[in-house]
A and B are shown apart, each in its own frame.
Chain A
Amino acid sequence: MRTSIAAALFRHLILATGAVLMVLPFVLMVSISLKTEGEIYHPQFSLLPTSPDGIENYVAAFAMQPLWRYLLNGVLVCVGIFLAQALFALPCAYALAKLRWPGRNLTMAFVLLGLLIPPQVPAVPVYIMLWKFGLLDSYAALILPSAISVFGIFLMRQFFRTVPDDLISAARMDGLSEVAIVWRIMLPTAIPGLIAFGILSVVGHWNDFFWPLIAIQTPELATPALGVMFFVTAEAGTNFGRLMAAATVVNAPLVIAFLIAQRWFIDGLTMSSMK
């Protein structure tokens, strides 16, 4: 009895340490964003701001840079990418999971291979291609390179494989076309997976700094992560209070979205355990 309590304590201690380490940067971010410059450089550290003047940082952040514009760009780009990814991944996953055609296994091998390649590797050829097409420094430059996700194809295929073949046969007898089968029969079985994938995709592209940095010159096209960095390079030097305020604003939509969707997210990624 006593050992099990000790074990539980130990477990919780480890988990709590991990949780604190994870949350600490965010706590500091919010804390600094609410402090005035004087408070930030004060030798006595305190988590909570001592005066309400720190709110100034937020006002200044919105005034200095078009933060709303960055957020809107983020929404446009992330939604665009996710829709394109779903549009490609669902039919591909159906073909890989349920249709018999020569070269299917080879194609699947390429999909798995694609999972292993980090996006930075093809960045230069993709950049050159966009330049040749004259698409650099546009929304297309932000969306097109991510429009096909091998991870999305792979995840949807894993879901589709669990759909009984008889269901597809029945749909064909009932007069559904292959396209209708994908949207009306297969997609509903994979909704939790699609939501989980959507969250991963949106978070990834919302926070992506690398690709917007090389693809975008015009500040008005900046995504949130890139926009935040404009606070660093601004001529007045780094104002940490405003930088952190901008970072908090940029992170908030994701945190809120995740809190709303977390049940589906967990369902979607643990689907293997539910048969």
Chain B
Amino acid sequence: MAEISIANISKSFAGTIILEGVSLDVANGEFLTLVGPSGCGKSTLLRIIAGLEHQDSGTIAIAGSSVDMKAPKARDLSMVFQSYALYPYMTVEENISLPLTMRRMGTLQRLPLLGGLLPGAGAIRREIAVEARQVAESLGIAHLLSRRPGQLSGGQRQRVALARAMVRQPQAFLMDEPLSNLDAKMRVKARAEISEMHRRLQATFIYVTHDQIEAMTMSDRVAVMMHGRLLQVDPPQRIYDEPKTLEVARFIGTPEINVLPGTVRHDGAIEVFDKIWPVVVDAGRHAPVSVAVRPEVWEVAQQPGEGSLLTGTVRHIELLGSETLLHVSFAGSAASVVARVEPTVATRYRLGSPIHLAVDPARILVFTENGKRAATLTRSVPSQVRNLHG
């Protein structure tokens, strides 16, 4: 159990910069998720923490002391790989017990036949077998101990990989997309199991994924990574509600956040499609901005009302059962938005129906041209908006 401190890590492969000054402190017992699109350098960072790859600059410290000079096995971390990386020619039991045999038994004691004759070897082996069985039982794979990985289903292999990581009770767990080879149903189940495992072990977890749903559902904190940089590190809800950049806002949340082109007027109000929106922003005047609204934030109406901001046409309806997505397009613009509504509300609309959209002003996000969240965001009630207009 230990905190992990990542300070200013940079790494290039053959002249291509993969990681650029990544700094991050993971608290003892924290579940931190590193999320970002494929190829952004997540696995590379994880492998540097594990000691499987060497950083060009920067420092990794575990439990307060630098491990930069330590080999992977000396760092006392466990890693679960996307491909599970089970040893194909060993049984499940041998796979799970290997980390313990390597640590507790000497080279001679490990020898197949001769080793058994050495004093103590038998006792250690029995002890290891007991521990391996306990871990296997806790993951419900005790009946598979004598099988080979090739004879297991994807879900079973994933558990064996978890068991192998758990068995030696490491300082921290590193997981590299451990669920991405499972089918959708198994994945939901495995998510819950890994969260449960974290609660039970109270160990530090660094969990890598490109799937923002995994990031949102499992983590204490989420670190969003793109192009080798950390863009934001915050608890999941905060990342969702208060993204610091447009890239983060777009990456987190499905369906993707709606982004409309706007401009800042002379008085700081935002104008979208020739209409004044109920937000005032402290950003450069007359500058183009991106106005972003989460799909569930839209309030839809069949008739134009007090706060209506957009008028469009329903172009596509997606039924998801618990909710319905209405895709709305606007005359004279290529932009379109998605509104997430209750199925009972959705039944009022057909393809081609006119639709009016309003928004709680507190939940409008504005990003400047360079993608940064606009510095200050003041809210104004609709009556003030009319004043501004007049």
Contact = CB atoms under 8 A, between A and B. Distances in A.
Decide whether A and B assemble into one complex.
yes
Interface of A is mostly: helix
Contact of A173 (B77, B82, B87): B77
B50 to A, nearest CB: 6
Contacts of A173: 50, 52, 72-73, 77-79, 99
A164 B83 contact: yes
B82 A175 contact: no
B103 interface: yes
Contacts of A175: 73, 99, 102-103
Interface in B97-127: 98-99, 102-103
Nearest to A172: B72
A156 B89 CA distance: 17
B87 A169 contact: no
A175 B86 CA distance: 15
A216 B7 CA distance: 66
B99 A169 contact: no
A119 interface: no
B202 to A, nearest CB: 21
Contacts of A235: none
Given A172-B52, A173-B73, A166 B102 contact: no
B130 interface: no
B46 to A, nearest CB: 10
Interface string A185-218: 1001100000000000000000000000000000
A176 interface: yes
B346 to A, nearest CB: 45
A175 B99 CA distance: 6
B85 interface: yes
Interface in A161-192: 164, 166-167, 169-176, 180, 184-185, 188-189
A174 B52 contact: no
A185 B102 CA distance: 13
Given A164-B85, A185-B87, A188-B89, A170 B102 contact: no
A175 B103 CA distance: 7
A146 B89 CA distance: 31
A274 to B, nearest CB: 13
B315 interface: no
B373 interface: no
Contacts, number: 54
A167 B164 CA distance: 13
A189 B52 contact: no
B88 interface: yes
Contacts of A180: 102
A115 B102 CA distance: 38
B83 A174 contact: no
Contacts of B85: 164, 166-167, 169-170
Nearest to B79: A173
Interface string B56-97: 000000000000000111000111011101111100000000
B372 interface: no
B88 to A, nearest CB: 7
Contacts of B87: 167, 170-171, 184-185
Contacts of A170: 79, 81, 85-87, 164
B73 A174 contact: yes
Given A174-B164, A175-B102, A175-B103, A189 B88 contact: yes
Contacts of B73: 172-176
A76 to B, nearest CB: 24
B47 A166 contact: no
Contacts of B47: 169
B381 to A, nearest CB: 57
A189 B89 CA distance: 8
B72 to A, nearest CB: 5
Interface in B245-269: none
A197 B248 CA distance: 55
Contact of A169 (B71, B79, B164): B79
Interface of B: 47, 50, 52, 71-73, 77-79, 81-83, 85-89, 98-99, 102-103, 164
Nearest 9 CB-CB pairings of A with B: A175-B102, A188-B89, A170-B85, A166-B85, A175-B73, A174-B99, A166-B81, A172-B72, A166-B83
